[in-house]
Amino acid sequence: MTDTLAYPPRVTAFTATFWDGLREGKFRTTRCLRCLHVTFPPKPVCPECWRDELEWIDLSGRGILRSYTEVCVAPAMFAAEVPYILCLVDLDEGVRCLSRVLADWDDLRPDLRVRVKIREAEPTYLFDFVIDQEGEVS
């Protein structure tokens, strides 16, 4: 089932590569060609060396759950979706993401391995995290 988003992300000429990638099943971001710094979310200028020479790279979408919180009271446009869980994830590529995690509260704990799950939505696809059944940090 495809969700129709009440408050869709803003798609620009620059970010279209990211949003199109989700529709294609790919989780992408930018990397600086000069200093090789990887950023998330994608940025048109490297925040480390301030160059605009960037390339798009595919990310594994796998990482470690660092923190999470349950949202019980949300802004009006998300009120119908409560409760939901927001999470902070350190991806294996060294960047940090904030998104939702689709799991029961009691199944979550810090340092749990998670992976991206792409969600069909209109006008653009989104991403959430789910528990990665392939393994955990030892």
Per-residue pLDDT, 130: 98
Please give the share of the chain, as a percent, with pLDDT higher than 70: 96
Please give the Cα distance from 70 to 84 (Å, whole number): 6
Q: Which residue has the higher pLDDT, 96 or 8?
A: 96
User: What pLDDT does residue 138 have?
Assistant: 44
List the structure tokens of 110: 């810090």
Contacts of 45 (CB under 8 A, 6+ apart): 51, 52, 54
> pLDDT value at position 77?
82
Class of residue 87 by CB neighbours under 10 A (exposed 0-12, middle 13-18, buried 19+) = buried
Tokens of 105: 């509260």
Question: Mean pLDDT, to the nearest integer, of 15-29?
Answer: 97
Residue 20 makes CB contacts below 8 A (sequence gap 6+) with none
Compute the distance between CA of residue 30 and CA of residue 16 in angstroms, rounded to an integer: 12
Instruction: Decide if pLDDT at 4 tops 90.
Output: no
Q: Which pLDDT score, from 0 to 100, does residue 88 have?
A: 98
Q: What is the DSSP letter of 43?
A: -
pLDDT for res 7: 77
Predicted local distance difference test score (pLDDT) of residue 79 = 87
The pLDDT-based confidence of 22 (bands split at 50, 70, 90) is very high
Question: How confident is the model over 40-51, as a mean pLDDT?
Answer: 97
| Distance (Å, whole) CA 122 – CA 106 | 31
Bridge partners of 68, per DSSP, are 87
If DSSP codes are grouped into helix, strand and coil, which group holds residue 4?
strand
What is the chain's mean pLDDT, rounded? 93
